[in-house]
């Protein structure tokens, strides 16, 4: 078919629709031209954002113009590369202003661009590995979005605490199915005295697999028994003390510092007891079924059933100690409620109530300061710094860039970097000493406040040689809860400090940092 015979050819003179479109086209073109004329030129948006970024960093107008001129110099380059290359010029923006630590710690990282809508530059969220990174302190949390926080009730707080405690206990429970073969055999041979020949019972892979499964089933059974004992103690202590029947207002609990103690509700405790009992029965059934398995090879099951329970109990000593610590802490929490009720049962005056609240609050604050003080001293002793000190390793990055200059030889660079590391270690040591002295002063001030309040109560009796019996009862009631607060805090402090003794050995990099701080000491 020729072009003249094609009915869809553009501009065909006999097409009525195209003829109408041709008549309408001039008007539409004028409207499009007018709409195009109305668009305003916004300028170079990338350059405007770059200028705003420099202003936000605190640079003056003259410095900004200098950087912009350097940005505009390579005209032949692609426009998308100018902005990133302007940051790599000899004029360092960070040298011209004093930036904070959070910005400075990223200075040694490469700038990476992401294809976002506005094509802004983003830096990596983490910091490089530093000499003081190993620590139990939690990492710095990321900035959260400004969303409306959900309303959290007391029940949800209690349940979340219970779930968290359950997860922590599960982490302490050993898992013998994932233990290497040589480690499992060594642990099995050292479970009992005279059990060195127990390895002969698991000389094949089939026997070893059977022993592993046997140990894991016994491990689950003993763990559920510990949980059953824990919930039984919890229920018994709460019922005997009448914790669940107490009707205390939130204001009363807040004024007397009881709001920091949360008890699991009676309904949830009964639910946990029922669930634990069901799981315990299921674990016993699985263990009995495993014992009845027939192996193709001869195996002394009686001897194995004697060694494995002792082996499992030895592996759960930390878990058992943790359950006992939780029971002791629960007893202190219950005693706190009992002592507060006993004090108010004495019908104290308003001045005596105010004095008691001040003494109890100061005692809690004093114990918190001493707890933090003990952790700091332990860190200083074992030379393991908090994670928050990592930022100090990235606070003088300009020196690291300067030593890369070709004018410095290797010995000079090594000497400069060594001096820098020693200065940072000395600064960290001084900061820890400052924190220690500050917490010691806080504890002393709280102790002085407690002594002054007790003296004021005694003076309110009229300066008598023998205090009245009601005043003696009031002082004993205040001291009873104060002593309970101290014992509870000592239990928590001992548990936190013991973590450092059980923590894994630090790496060579951390040991090098410890040597530097040790030399400073």
- pLDDT tens digits, 383-421: 888 888 877 777 666 777 777 777 888 888 888 888 888
Question: Which residues neighbour 414 within 8 Å (Cβ) at sequence distance 6 or greater?
Answer: none
Structure tokens at 272: 């946990």
What are the residue boundaries of the structural domains of the chain, listed by start? 45-122, 154-329, 346-521
Q: Encoding tokens for residue 483?
A: 């002593």
What does the pLDDT read at residue 150?
A: 38
Task: Outline where 346-409 has alpha helix (H).
Answer: 350-382, 397-402
User: Per the structure block, which two tokens stand in for 439?
Assistant: 């917490």
Q: Smallest Cα–Cα separation from 341: which of 195, 241, 272, 263?
A: 241
Q: What is the pLDDT of residue 47?
A: 85
Q: What is the pLDDT of residues 29-51, one digit of tens each?
A: 555 555 556 566 677 888 888 88
pLDDT band of 61, cuts 50, 70, 90: confident
Checking if the pLDDT of 510 tops 60, the result is no
d(CA 49, CA 191): 68
Nearest to 512 by CA among 134, 251, 222: 134
CA distance 393 to 386: 13
What is the distance of C-alpha 51 from the center of its chain?
38
- What is the pLDDT averaged over residues 230-237? 94
All residues at 6 or more sequence positions from 517 whose CB lies less than 8 Å from its CB, including other chains: 383, 385, 425, 428, 429
* Beta-carbon contacts of residue 188 (< 8 Å; ≥ 6 apart): 195, 198, 199, 202, 211, 215, 307, 308, 311
Average pLDDT over residues 62-83: 62
**How confident is the model at residue 136, as a pLDDT?**
33
Using left for φ > 0, alpha for ψ between -120 and 50, and beta otherwise, residue 182 falls in alpha
Please compute, for residue 492, the number of CA atoms within 13 A of its CA located in the half-sphere on the CB side. 17
Q: How confident is the model at residue 115 (pLDDT cuts 50, 70, 90)?
A: very low
CA 414: distance to chain centroid? 36
b/e sequence 50-73, b meaning 16+ C-beta within 10 Å: bbeebeeeebeeebbeebeeebee
Quick check: helix, strand or coil at residue 466?
coil
Residue 5 has pLDDT above 50, yes or no: no
Tell me the DSSP string of 255-320. Answer: HTT-TT-----HHHHHHHHHHHHHHHHHHHHHHHHHHTPPPSS---HHHHHHHHHHHHHHHTHHHH
Residue 348 reports pLDDT greater than 50: yes
Span 338-359, average pLDDT: 93
> Between residues 304 and 232, which one has the greater pLDDT?
232
**Measured distance CA(120)–CA(107) in Å, rounded:** 17
Q: Is the pLDDT of residue 296 over 80?
A: no
Task: For residues 320-342, give the mean pLDDT.
Answer: 93
Whether 308 and 214 have beta carbons less than 8 Å apart is answered as yes
SS3 of residue 462 by DSSP: coil
Residue 387: predicted pLDDT: 80
pLDDT for the residue 283: 93
Mean pLDDT for the stretch of residues 180-184:
81
Model pTM score: 0.59
* CB of 304 closer than 8 Å to CB of 211: yes
Q: Is the pLDDT of residue 158 over 70?
A: no
Q: How far is CA 415 from the centre of its chain?
A: 37
**What pLDDT was estimated at residue 207?**
82
| pLDDT of the residue at 259 | 83
């Amino acid at each position: 078919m020729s072009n003249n015979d094609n009915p869809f050819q553009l501009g065909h003179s006999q097409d009525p629709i195209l003829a109408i479109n041709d008549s309408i086209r001039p008007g539409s073109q004028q409207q499009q031209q007018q709409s195009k004329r109305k668009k305003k030129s916004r300028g170079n948006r990338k350059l405007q954002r770059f200028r705003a970024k420099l202003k936000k960093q605190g640079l003056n107008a003259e410095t900004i113009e200098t950087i912009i001129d350097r940005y505009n110099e390579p005209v032949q380059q692609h426009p998308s590369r100018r902005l990133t290359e302007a940051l790599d010029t000899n004029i360092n923006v960070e040298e011209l202003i004093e930036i904070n630590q959070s910005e400075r710690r990223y200075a040694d990282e490469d700038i990476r661009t992401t294809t976002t809508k506005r094509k802004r530059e983003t830096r990596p969220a983490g910091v490089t590995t530093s000499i003081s990174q190993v620590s139990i302190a939690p990492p710095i949390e990321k900035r959260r979005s400004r969303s409306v926080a959900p309303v959290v009730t007391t029940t949800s707080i209690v349940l979340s605490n219970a779930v968290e405690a359950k997860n922590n206990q599960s982490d302490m429970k050993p898992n013998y199915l994932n233990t290497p073969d040589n480690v499992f055999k060594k642990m099995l041979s050292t479970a009992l005295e005279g059990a060195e020949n127990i390895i002969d019972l698991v000389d094949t892979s089939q026997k070893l697999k059977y022993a592993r499964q046997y140990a894991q089933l016994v491990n689950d059974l003993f763990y559920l028994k510990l949980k059953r004992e824990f919930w039984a103690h919890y229920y018994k202590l709460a019922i005997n003390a009448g914790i669940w029947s107490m009707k205390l207002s939130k204001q009363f609990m807040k004024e007397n510092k009881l709001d920091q103690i949360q008890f699991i509700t009676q309904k949830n405790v009964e639910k946990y007891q029922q669930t634990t009992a069901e799981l315990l029965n299921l674990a016993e059934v699985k263990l009995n079924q495993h014992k009845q398995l027939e192996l193709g090879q001869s195996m002394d099951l009686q001897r194995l059933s004697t060694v494995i329970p002792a082996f499992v109990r030895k592996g759960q000593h930390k878990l058992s100690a943790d359950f006992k610590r939780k029971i002791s802490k629960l007893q202190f929490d219950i005693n706190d409620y009992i002592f507060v009720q006993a004090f108010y049962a004495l019908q104290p005056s308003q001045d005596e109530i105010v004095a008691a609240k001040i003494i109890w609050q100061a005692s809690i604050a004093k114990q918190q300061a001493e707890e933090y003080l003990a952790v700091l001293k332990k860190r200083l002793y074992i030379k393991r710094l908090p994670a928050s000190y990592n930022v100090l390793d990235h606070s003088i990055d300009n020196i690291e860039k300067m030593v890369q200059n070709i004018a410095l030889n290797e010995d000079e660079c090594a000497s400069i970097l060594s001096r820098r590391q020693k200065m940072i270690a000395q600064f960290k040591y001084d900061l820890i000493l400052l924190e220690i002295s500050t917490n010691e002063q806080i504890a002393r001030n709280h102790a002085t406040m407690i002594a002054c309040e007790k003296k004021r109560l005694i003076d309110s009796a009229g300066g008598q040689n023998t205090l009245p019996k009601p005043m003696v009862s009031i002082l004993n009631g205040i001291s009873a809860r104060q002593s309970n607060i101290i014992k509870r805090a000592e239990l928590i402090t001992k548990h936190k400090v013991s973590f450092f003794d059980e923590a894994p050995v630090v790496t060579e990099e951390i040991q090098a940092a410890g040597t530097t701080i040790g030399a400073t000491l």
